[in-house]
Amino acid sequence: MQEFNHGVRAGRLVMALVALGTTFGIAGPVAAAPDRHPGGVRTCPSGSPGGDVHRARPPRIHPQGRVDAAGTLTGYTVYVGHGAPLVLGPGGFVDGPFGTDAIVGEREEDLTRLTIVDLWRGCARARLTVHGLVYGSRLDPATGDVHVSLVEPGTRRELGIWRVDPELPDRPRLEVAPPTGALATATPRTADIGWDRGPVGRWCTADRCETRRPSGSRTGIVAEPDSTTEAGTLPLVSPRPVPEEPAPRWPRDADLTYRWNATETPPAWIRPAMNAAADDVDQTSRSRTPTFRYDAGATDTIRYTTTMPSTSCSTAIACASYAVGASWTVRIRPQGSDLRWGTLRWCQADPTDGCFDLERVLLHELGHIVGIDHPQSAGFSLRPFDTVMDQLAPARPKPGSLLHAFGPCDVATLQERYGVSLPTSPISACNDLATTLALRASADVVARGTPVSLVAELRIPDRDAYGRLGGNALSGRTVQLWRRPLGSLASWTVFTMRAGDSPGTYLLSLQPSMSYEFQAVFAAPATEGLEGSTSPTVTIRVTGGCGIGACTNGTEDPMQ
Q: What digits encode the pLDDT tens for the residues 307-352?
A: 888 667 888 899 999 999 899 999 999 999 999 999 999 999 999 9
Quick one: which H or E segment has residue 308?
none
Query: Buried b / exposed e across 197-219, counting CB within 10 Å, b at 16+?
Result: ebbbbbbbbbbbbbbbbbeeeeb
Residue 267 has pLDDT above 80, yes or no: yes
Q: How far is CA 85 from the centre of its chain?
A: 36
pLDDT, tens digit, 9 for 90 and up, residues 159-190: 999 998 888 777 888 999 899 888 899 888 88
How much is the mean pLDDT over the chain? 85
Greatest alpha-carbon pair distance for the chain in Å reads 115
Helix axes 358-369, 271-284, angle to 10 degrees: 50
Classified by CATH at the fold level, domain 255-418 comes out as: Collagenase (Catalytic Domain) (3.40.390)
Average pLDDT of the segment spanning 356-372 = 96
pLDDT at 290 over 60: yes
292-301, 310-319, 326-335, 427-436, range with the lowest pLDDT: 310-319
CA atoms within 13 A on the CB side of 296: 0
Torsion from C-alpha of 397, 403, 407, 411, nearest 10 degrees: 160
Query: What was the pLDDT predicted at 15?
Result: 21
pLDDT category at 27 given cuts 50, 70, 90 is very low
Residue 11 sits at the vertex; the CA angle it makes with 10 and 12, to the nearest 5 degrees, is: 135
- Determine the topology of domain 436-543 in CATH: Immunoglobulin-like (2.60.40)
The pLDDT of residue 14: 24
Which of 364, 378, 341, 367 is closest to 234 using CA atoms? 378
Cα atoms in the 13 Å half-sphere on the side-chain side of 365: 29
- The predicted pLDDT at position 285 comes to 97
Looking at per-residue pLDDT, the higher value among 548 and 472 belongs to 472
Alpha carbons within 13 angstroms on the beta-carbon side of residue 455 total 11
Helix (H) / strand (E) containing 535: none
Q: Please state the separation of Cα 41 from the chain's center in Å.
A: 39
- Answer yes or no: are the C-beta atoms of 105 and 137 closer than 8 Å: yes
Residue 428 and residue 286 in contact, taking contact as beta carbons nearer than 8 Å = yes
3-state secondary structure 339-398: ECCEECCECCCCCCCCCECHHHHHHHHHHHHCCECCHHHHCCECCHHHCCCCCCCCCCCC
End-to-end CA distance of the chain: 56
How, if at all, do strands 327-332 and 301-304 pair?
A: parallel
Percent with pLDDT over 70 in the chain? 85
All CATH 3.40.390.10 domain ranges in the chain, comma separated: 255-418
Residue 550's pLDDT band (boundaries 50, 70, 90)?
Answer: low
Give the residue among 510, 484, 479, 483 at the shortest CA–CA distance from 496: 479
Answer for the pair 79, 59: CB distance below 8 angstroms, yes or no.
no
Quote helix, strand, coil % in the chain, to nearest 5: 10, 35, 50
Question: Which residues are registered as beta bridge partners of 66?
Answer: 75
pLDDT confidence bin for 25, thresholds 50/70/90:
very low
Say whether pLDDT at 20 is over 50. Answer: no
Q: How far apart are CA 105 and CA 85, in angstroms?
A: 14
Residues of the chain with CATH 2.60.40.1930: 436-543
**Structure confidence at residue 484 as a pLDDT band (50, 70, 90):** very high
User: What average pLDDT does this structure show over 280-295?
Assistant: 97
Continuous segment of H or E residues that includes residue 89: none
| pLDDT at residue number 207 | 75
The residues pairing with 455 across neighbouring beta strands, listed in sequence order, are 440, 507
pTM of the full structure: 0.84
Residue 2: which of 427, 386, 313, 269 has the closest Cα?
313
Is 146's pLDDT higher than 70? yes
- pLDDT at residue 55 in the model: 53
pLDDT digits 0-9 by tens, 66-92: 999 999 999 999 888 777 788 999 999
- The fraction of the chain above a pLDDT of 90, given in percent, is 60
Question: Strand (E) positions, 383-500?
Answer: 436-441, 445-447, 452-459, 480-485, 493-496, 498-499
Q: What is the pLDDT of residue 35?
A: 42
Q: What is the pLDDT confidence band of residue 141, given thresholds at 50, 70 and 90?
A: confident
Q: Which residues contact residue 301 at a Cβ distance below 8 angstroms, ignoring those fewer than 6 apart? A: 258, 259, 260, 261, 329
Q: Does pLDDT of 546 surpass 60?
A: yes
Among 118-132, 458-472, 522-536, the minimum mean pLDDT is found in 118-132
Asked if residue 269 has pLDDT above 80, the reply is: yes
If one compares 54 and 329, the residue with the highest pLDDT of the two is 329
Query: Is-contact 3 190, C-beta < 8 A?
Result: yes
Distance, in Å, from the CA atom of 559 to the CA atom of 178, rounded to the nearest integer, reads 73
Answer for the pair 188, 170: CB distance below 8 angstroms, yes or no. no
> Is the CB of residue 471 less than 8 Å from the CB of residue 512?
no
Q: What integer pLDDT is reported at residue 436 of this predicted model?
A: 97
- Dihedral angle sign, alpha carbons of residues 314, 320, 323, 329: positive
Position 2 pLDDT exceeds 90:
no
Question: How many whole angstroms separate alpha carbon 163 and alpha carbon 147?
Answer: 4
Judge whether 86 and 41 are in contact, CB under 8 Å: yes
Q: Is 316 helix (H, G, I), strand (E, B) or coil?
A: coil
- Which letter does DSSP use for residue 230 in this model? G
Contact 365, 318 (CB under 8 A): yes
**Residue-level pLDDT at 198:** 83
Closest CA to 417 of 474, 387, 373, 458: 373
